[in-house]
Amino acid sequence: MNFKDLYDIWSKDSFFDASTQKELADIANDEKEIEERFYKDLEFGTGGLRGILGAGTNRMNVYTVAKASAGLAQYIVANGKEAMEKGVAVSYDSRHFSPEFADVTASTLAAYGIKVYLSDELRPVPMLSYAVRYFGAFSGVMITASHNPSKYNGYKVYGVDGGQVTPEAASEILSNIEKYADVRTIKQMKLEDAISSGLVEKFGSKVDEAYTAMLQELVIDKDAIDRQSDMDIVYTPLHGSGNKPVRRILSAVGFKNVHIVNEQELPDGSFPTVKTPNPEDPAALSMGIELAKKKGASIVVGTDPDSDRVGVAAKTVEDGKEVYKSFTGNQVGIMLLDYILNSKKQAGTLADKSFAVTTIVSTKLAGAICESYGVELQEVLTGFKFIGERIMIDDENGDKSFQFGFEESYGYLSGLNVRDKDAVVAVMLICGMAAQSKDMGETLFDRLERIYKKFGYGFEEAVSFTLEGKEGLEKIQGCMSSMRQELEACQTKEEALKLIGGPNVVAVRDYEKSIRYDFSSGKLTTSPIDLVKSNVLLYELGGDKGLDWACVRPSGTEPKLKIYFGIYDTDKAIALERLSEVKTSMSAFVNSKL
């Protein structure tokens, strides 16, 4: 069925609600817009759905959510009665239509005879992950588009361990979704009937209390917090779901002076005070910084709408003046890693066979830090589901002890009872680390400099090209294909040097083909990569420590092609200069393929 036929059905059939049909009537003369909305189904990837809100098969709406839920339901039914009885935990964030999508998810699952634990108010990603384990559920669903702009929403699916579903499970769910070519054939049940029958059960404060108690067990250096309990902290939930859980844990561990950015406190899916609710953008913390100046706070923290990412700014001195500056995700990651490992080593609580996990596009300084404490560092593909998977394999089902996981995109995790990035525990740890630094007479920037002096300077950046719609997707695919063709044509070191047009290319890892192309000996040699396949090209660039790199990958959650860079040197100025050169060359190289 072509996009015009689908448009006609959605526009005219009484199955679809009046607001949907009015929205479609308004674009009746815009064939390109109709095609964008109906040329395909909204893609169900390894984590679920994410897309622009609106009417159509390629948009987030109650019908596409019901279709995804029906596919998930069939997957659970196929796993037997026990899986159906264990059921699904469902939560949602502050985005437009998140509560409605959560209700549709619950009622659709119930229509197929599946037990559902439905959050009675918005709760963040880490609490959904925790709830899956708390209830012993078979699966979980989180309605969120994380840090995307306000026109987006999404549907993330979790497995029995509380981590995002495996690629294998996602593939099975997708095959079930595809069986519902016509959304009008999906089973339906009213939510009030599902609740009265006992199939849907609302959850609330008991989970909040258990989650907060669990986090308190993860506190590092409580003595320092007690001594600095009156430290001023500014927190902003950026109109999202972190407000209550973050304030609860900061109070529970003893911080007395937590100041909230009032204008950003309450949930609002329009995110009216920020350009984008993304703590990776320093501008998202600007209102928090203004409040910090008034309160004399030394630290500002902000969480995104689903509270799985956290941004941090702190007070420092530049040219004799006090200023507030933001940290990158990598900088916070290495500070927390060193803070946890060092504090536990000093306390004699660092377990044997300890390990930490990070991703292939995160800072390489993590390796040096782990090595200094005798801790194994594991690198996985981008995506926190792979970090959660390593916890299950090596800690829960193995003989190793997980200490910390992080990725460059402002995601952090400590503990075993959440299996996705957790901004709530991260805020607790960051504020505890700031208290320890204050106790030592240093700022967080002093701490970071101390780490750099010990392990060498490392600077990472990322740039992205936003390419929306069908045309944008085709450009991204064409760019990656062109880069692979050029790589496969290289046979010598001299040819590899011309790949990017500047930086020295020592080797290239193609994670989609699971091949590492090595040019260091002069002629090409290849070796296998032992990770799951992913559409990623990583260029090894050598450098002072042999760790420099650049990486290109399509985003899994946004219509973007992303480029990452990492440069390492004992000399700060040299590292920054080389980062600028690599960034310029690599950006031009990728742009030439678009």
Q: Which residues are catalytic?
A: 146
Residues with Cβ within 8 Å of residue 576, at least 6 apart in sequence: 459, 567
Look at the alpha carbons of 220, 136, 351, 395 in this order and tell me if their dihedral is positive or negative.
negative
Which two tokens mark 426? 């991260």
- C-beta separation of 539 from 499 below 8 A: yes
Query: What is the Cα–Cα distance from 75 to 345, expressed in whole angstroms?
Result: 45
Query: What is the Cα–Cα distance from 159 to 173, expressed in whole angstroms?
Result: 12
Cα 190–Cα 112–Cα 92 angle in degrees, nearest 5: 65
- DSSP letters, 246-297, are HHHHHHHHT--EEEE-GGGTS--TT-TTSSS--TTSGGGGHHHHHHHHHHT-
Residues with Cβ within 8 Å of residue 440, at least 6 apart in sequence: none
Taking CA atoms, 225 is separated from 337, 428, 430, 448, in Å, by: 18, 10, 11, 19
Tell me the three state secondary structure of residue 545.
Answer: coil
Query: What is the Cα–Cα distance from 267 to 237, expressed in whole angstroms?
Result: 8
Query: What is the Cα–Cα distance from 237 to 262, expressed in whole angstroms?
Result: 10
Phi–psi pair at 525, nearest 5 degrees: -130, 155
H-helix or E-strand containing 562? strand 560-569
The count of other CB atoms within 10 Å of the CB of residue 352 is 8
Tokens 């002096």 sit on residue: 453
- Number of C-alpha atoms within 13 angstroms, CB side, residue 291? 22
Strand partners, 509: 516, 538
Which two tokens mark 152? 């987006």
Taking alpha carbons only, the member of 581, 250, 254 closest to residue 425 is 250
Cα 368–Cα 371–Cα 377 angle in degrees, nearest 5: 85
Phi–psi pair at 251, nearest 5 degrees: -70, -40
Taking alpha carbons only, the member of 466, 496, 461, 408 closest to residue 591 is 466
N residues, the chain? 594
Tell me the three state secondary structure of residue 120.
Answer: coil
Amino acid occupying residue 240: G
- C-beta separation of 285 from 313 below 8 A: yes
- C-beta separation of 594 from 465 below 8 A: yes
- C-beta separation of 57 from 182 below 8 A: no
Amino acid occupying residue 382: T
